[in-house]
Structures are given as C-alpha cells and as structure tokens.
Amino acid sequence: MDQNIVNVIAPPAIKVDSNYLKIGDKFAKTIFIFTYPRYLNTGWFSGVIDMPELLDISIFIHPVETSLALKKLRKKAAQIESQVVERQQKGMVRDPMLETAFQDIESLRDSLQQTRENLFNVGVYLTLYADTMENLHKIESKVTSLLESRLVYAKPALFQQLEGFESTLPLGEDKLLIYNPLNSGPLSSFFPFTSADLTSNDGIMYGINRHNNGLIIFDRFSLENANMVVFAKSGSGKSYATKLEILRLLMLGTDVLVIDPENEYENLASAVGGSYFRISLASDHHINPFDLPIIPPDEDPSDVLRSHIVNLAGLLKIMLGKLSPEEDAILDRALSETYASHDIVAGHDFSGATPPLLEDLQKVLENMDGGKGMAERLYKYTQGSFAGFTNQPTNIDMKNRLVVFSIRDLEDELRPIAMYIVLNFIWSLIRANLKKRVLVIDEAWVIMKYEDGATFLFGLVKRCRKYFMGITTITQDVEDFLRSPYGRPIITNSSLQLLLKQAPAMADLVAKTFNLTEGEKSLLLEAKVGEGLFFAGLNHVAIQIIASYLEDKIVTTKPEQILEQKEL
C-alpha cells in the first residue's frame, strides 16, 4: 500500500544534470544565497516570496554556541587589528573596509556577550520550476536580479542539483550545507513571509486574505481618516465590492450616500428600503444649487454663507467654461447681489429667507457691465434645453439611511455639473448634522477632469474627517484621475485603498503610485474578478471579495443574473 502511494506521488522519472533537473515534464533548478550586504532591511525577502512564478524556498537556521562564536570572533578581531597596526607602521593610507569590519566584529562580540543577540548558521535555498529551459533561465535571471538589487547574491548549486532539490522539499533535510553566519537582527529581516493579518474585533468583513485564508475584518473609522480609493478596470468587481461594503456598513448603523453614474445601486436601494433619486432633465427630483446651507450651531452664519458662495462659483465655472479674471470678479459680485435681492446678506438673519434660483443670477448678470456674455451662456440652463435640471427648487428628502443619486440619464456634458451640485448639497447637510456616514462617488474621474470639480472633491476628502464621514472614490480610468494635480493628494489622504484587476497599460502607473513590488503588480494583472490588494494604513494583503448567497443576489452587477431575477 505504501509503495502504491509513493508511485502516485513520485514523478515518472528524474533527469539529473549539472545545472538543472528535469522532473517529469518540469524543469527545476536550485540556487543558494552565498553573500549578504552589511545591512538587511525588514521585508527585503518579500519581493521573492510574493513572486507569481512557481518556486520553493527553504531556510535552515542552525544555532551556534555563543562561547564558540565569541572565540572565533576574538581571533578574527585580533587578525584584523594586526593588519591595521601593520599598515600604520608601514605608513600606508588607512583602509576604511578593515576599520569598519573591526568595528562590526567588536559590536557583535558585545551583543553576544550581553546575550542581546545570538549567532546562527543560515542556509537559504530556492528551487525554481518552469515548463521549458528558456523560461527557467528567465525566472532565474528575474530572481537573481531582484536579489542583487538588494546586494544579495546567489549561485546555482552546480553538480548538486539533486541535493538542492531535496533540501527544498518539505522534509527538513539540509543536503547542501551551505551556510552564512547571521546574528538575530539580520535573521529577523527574513520574516514575516506573508503580508500583515487584518483581522480585528471591530468593523466589517471586506473579504478573505489569500495568503492565509484568514478573514479581513476592519473598521475604516479606526484609522486617521476613513477615506478609501478603489481602482480597477471595468468588469473586475469594483462596484460589487463597494455595494457589499455598503450593505455591511448599513447593518452596523452607518449611513451611506451614493452618487451612481450607471444605475448600479438601484437594486441595493430597493432591497434595503433606501431612497433612490434620478437626476435628469425630465426627472421630478430637483436640487437647487442656490439653496442656503443649514447653519451648524458652532459656526458663524456669515462664514458659512461666504463659503457657500465660493463653492457655488466653482460650479458656475464648470457650467460657463473658462473665465477671464474680469469675468471671475463680476461673477463673484453678481452672486452676492443675487442673494442680497432675496434679503440674504452676511451679518443679517437669513434663516427664513427663500433662496434664489439660477434665473435670478442670470437677471443680475444681464444688468451688470461685462456680465451679458455670461448671462447668455447661462440661458440654456435657465430657459433652454437644460432648464429643468438646474433651475428648480429643491424637493428631495434626505431622511434615510441609504440615499442614492442616479445621474445615468443625464447627458455627458451635464454629469460633472450634477456631481458637483449633489456633492455640495450633501456637504451642506453633513456639516449641519454630525453623524457616522460614508459617501461613495462612483466614476470619480468624471468630476476630476475639471479643475474646480477636482478642487472641491479634494476639499471634501481633506475636511470630511471632522464631520465623522469617510469618502470612497471609485474609478476605472486611473490615468485621468492621476493626471489631475489633486489625484495623488486624494490618494494620500485616503487611509484605505482597494486595487483590483488592472489593465496592462495602467499596471506600471498603478505600481508606481502605490509603490508595489513586481509580485504585487503581477498579481493585479493576473487577478480574477473580485481579487486584488487591500491596503489599510501601512498594512496590505491580497484579498478575495466573498459574498453570501443573499448578498450576491442584492449586489450583483452581472447582466445575466439581473435578467434572471427580473424574470422571477
């Protein structure tokens, strides 16, 4: 019976060459590390461990008796010291390498004598596998180049390939016996082998840790800010992952607001009894951008009004296009006069006043020197084809745990304007009522294309922490997002990042932006739907998004599943 098991496990044949093995249909080659630099940084070995190529790694650690180590170090120190003295007597120029070696030996002797460190003989062997010799050489070159970039050098086990292969099998047998002396500090830099564990007692489950099959449970509000960015190519599961997070956040009492560009969140809003508002030219739902913000109890009404006018000016610059400095000044004065015509003036009580509409601003501009051109450009928003969208009083009720604004039915020209109006409306409500919230902005690159929109979004990301809110920005167009001068600052002000499958054209840009290793970049290129990298502060893990049966029915974005549910 045992022999049958051996026959099943063992390969049909092994060909032993001086420089490689052929194990069945696979080619294998064992290399060993033979020298290290003076210093080893923590995690230096992770680049090799995280490589997507097939390889086995064995690390053999043999403790060295301290008394024996001290005896050898004392002898070595005496040899080096004698060389230094001899060079001095001969009048030769000092050798910094000898002096540094002497200092290192003395420092190690002190550490060993005081039991702060221990000495070990360490053997590190790597067996690489490939389907062809050509691929085997490529993998070997990739591994050695990665090691050499860290000043670590490796050699193939010439004429000892079989012993090397056996040394990397899970048998615990060191057949090569090629060691390097390392003390505790450098040796500790080999660990940990995998990314950090992100399992906590608080928060929601984001997915499964692909390194150790543990649960990734995290509370985004436990970090310095609760902001998050999600980058992925179309169809890789970014909206699915976001909807799953929303569903789980709602269960823990967090309110969620969503800007939905493709009607992807309608099913979710319907399932949990949320509010779903369609913003379009023919819609019954309207938001008046001139609405007065609710005054927080601890803020000066005059300051709030001035801040609101500044935000409103940013919106109008998107609507009107590029303005000259003169037009910018005229617009600022026109906004103040428009509010003044409705008795809304800084320093006075305007809590019961009726806010103006966009057509009121147009009338003010028409009667101002230099303002007629801007008034004519506003015509399509007040009386023209876009009038139903931007020139109506607000009739939206935000009293719900989940509120979704759909802008799918808007023309492309109006989408950034709609996103700005909705964001400004939401921001006014958030400032007035402190509550645990998450704001999700899908396809954020739409508003990032415009400087004023990008500035406004960046301001939200920076300030939302004070109002107990986290912002999730989602985009599939990484290049457009990062091209904006505010793209990278938004990322650096987001403590959480979720990277799913990336397009090859964007992989290098994403890797550079997030400082990914080659292995992590390859993981994102080869990832399946719902797989990627999850960053939380300084820690990150490989993640797989997992949903229960009922959750999947609610958050799915697959057209075939949606059609099937409608038929039922």
Q: What is the DSSP secondary-structure string of 93-135?
A: PP-HHHHHHHHHHHHHHHHHHTTS--EEEEEEEEEEEESSHHH
Task: List the beta bridge partners of residue 472.
Answer: 228, 440
Structure tokens at 126: 């790597």
Encoded amino acid at 4, one letter: N
What pLDDT does residue 193 have?
47
Contacts 24+ apart (CB under 8 A), 140-148: 140/29, 140/31, 142/51, 142/53, 142/518, 143/31, 143/48, 143/51, 143/55, 144/31, 146/47, 146/48, 146/51, 146/518, 147/33, 147/48
What pLDDT does residue 564 have?
66
Encoded amino acid at 6, one letter: V
What pLDDT does residue 155 have?
92
pLDDT tens readout for residues 376-428? 988 888 888 787 778 888 888 888 899 999 888 887 788 888 888 888 888 88
What pLDDT does residue 103 have?
73
What pLDDT does residue 334 have?
92
C-alpha angle 250/532/542, rounded to 5°?
95
How many other β-carbons are positioned within 10 Å of the β-carbon of residue 452? Answer: 17
Closest CA to 486 of 449, 450, 442, 455: 455
What residues does CATH 1.10.8.730 cover in the chain? Answer: 291-393
Going by DSSP bridges, is the β-strand pair 469-475/437-441 parallel, antiparallel, or unpaired? parallel
Structure tokens at 391: 């020139």
Structure tokens at 347: 């320093």
Residue 259 to residue 300: CA distance in whole angstroms: 29
What pLDDT does residue 562 have?
63
CA distances from 300 to 34, 351, 433, 466 (A): 69, 12, 15, 17
Fold of 291-393: Helicase, Ruva Protein; domain 3 (1.10.8)
Say if residues 47 and 65 touch (Cβ distance below 8 Å).
Answer: no
Q: Classify residue 410 by its DSSP letter.
A: S
What pLDDT does residue 1 have?
45
What pLDDT does residue 563 have?
65
What pLDDT does residue 195 have?
47
Say if residues 480 and 448 touch (Cβ distance below 8 Å).
Answer: yes
What pLDDT does residue 438 have?
94
Residue that has been written with the tokens 């003010």 in this structure: 364
What pLDDT does residue 85 have?
76
DSSP character string of 436-451: -EEEEETTTHHHHTSH
Residue 79 to residue 99: CA distance in whole angstroms: 12
Spans of the chain, pLDDT less than 50: 1, 193-195
Q: What's the pTM? A: 0.65
CA torsion, points 405, 564, 500, 194, in degrees to nearest 10? 130
Cis amide leading into 192 (omega within 30)? yes
Encoded amino acid at 323, one letter: L
Say if residues 135 and 28 touch (Cβ distance below 8 Å).
Answer: no
Quick one: how far is CA 35 from the chain centroid?
35
